[in-house]
Amino acid sequence: VSRLFPSTIYTGMSRRSTSIPTPSSRRFSACSRAAVTRCCSRYATTRALRARTRKRLKRATRADNVSFDGFARVAHVTDATDWRVEYPFVVVSPDSEDEVASVVRELIALGLTIIPRGGGTGYTGGAVPLTRRSAVLNTEKLEALSAVEWVELPGVGRQVPTLRAGAGVVTRRAMDAAE
């Protein structure tokens, strides 16, 4: 009996397999089959969730604002912290603030965790997806920035300088505008 192939018996120049499954090989085969089945079912589940997501988000924003592709997902896997925990399931980039509420409503209905993301320059890890079923709400397009205005705010009793910044405005740009 060969040490390399213990289940194979060599007789002369020919060999024949005895194919006697051992308990450990049966356990290995069963575990392998179960793993492949789980993996295949995840693909089917993911495909179905993507179809539902496309259908629901079509009501809220343009189809090309919804990205499942690898490039968009990799680009939104982290922020400036460079922490990587999980890839987002989908990246949604609404064209206007008016679309945000309906996009959020649809993502909640789908049971996805929403990760709001501005320019991706934050150092807090707040834009890092932590679950497989997360949706990054990319607000980079929402970059309106007003001039500084003097406004009387409730409870302050005097006018103070303010500016209106869209959710996608990078902090440095807002600071420059305030100077």
> What DSSP line would sit under 119-138, residue for residue?
SS--SSSTT---STTEEEEE
> Which residues, at least 6 apart from 156, have a Cβ–Cβ distance to it below 8 Å?
none
Instruction: Give the integer Cα–Cα distance in Å for 173 and 161.
Output: 16
Determine whether 71 is exposed, middle or buried from the number of CB atoms within 10 Å of its CB (0-12, 13-18, 19+). exposed
Instruction: Give the integer Cα–Cα distance in Å for 108 and 32.
Output: 35
**Is the pLDDT reported for residue 2 higher than 50?**
no
Residue count (the chain):
179
pTM of the model: 0.71
Q: Please report the pLDDT score of residue 1 as a whole number.
A: 43
The larger pLDDT score, comparing residue 173 to residue 22, is at 173
**Is the pLDDT reported for residue 25 higher than 60?**
yes
The larger pLDDT score, comparing residue 110 to residue 83, is at 110
**Tens digits of per-residue pLDDT, 156-179?**
989 999 999 998 888 888 899 988
Neighbours of 8 (CB within 10 A): 13
Q: Stretch 116-143: mean pLDDT, rounded?
A: 80
SS3 92: strand
DSSP string covering 98-121, please? HHHHHHHHHHHHTTPEEEEESSS-
> Which residues, at least 6 apart from 148, have a Cβ–Cβ distance to it below 8 Å?
161, 162, 163, 177, 178
Q: What is the mean pLDDT of the chain?
A: 83
Look-up: residue for tokens 């100077």? 179
Q: Please report the pLDDT score of residue 170 as a whole number.
A: 84
The larger pLDDT score, comparing residue 44 to residue 51, is at 51
pLDDT band at 39 (very low <50, low <70, confident <90, very high): confident
**Tens digits of per-residue pLDDT, 134-163?**
999 999 999 999 999 999 999 998 999 999
Using left for φ > 0, alpha for ψ between -120 and 50, and beta otherwise, residue 157 falls in: left
Q: Which of 34-48, 75-89, 109-123 comes out lowest in average pLDDT?
A: 75-89
Nearest to 68 by CA among 126, 132, 4, 163: 132
Measure CA of the first residue to CA of the last residue in the chain; give whole Å: 84
166 within 8 A of 134, measured Cβ to Cβ? no
Q: Please report the pLDDT score of residue 12 as a whole number.
A: 52
Q: Please report the pLDDT score of residue 17 as a whole number.
A: 52
Residue type, 164: R
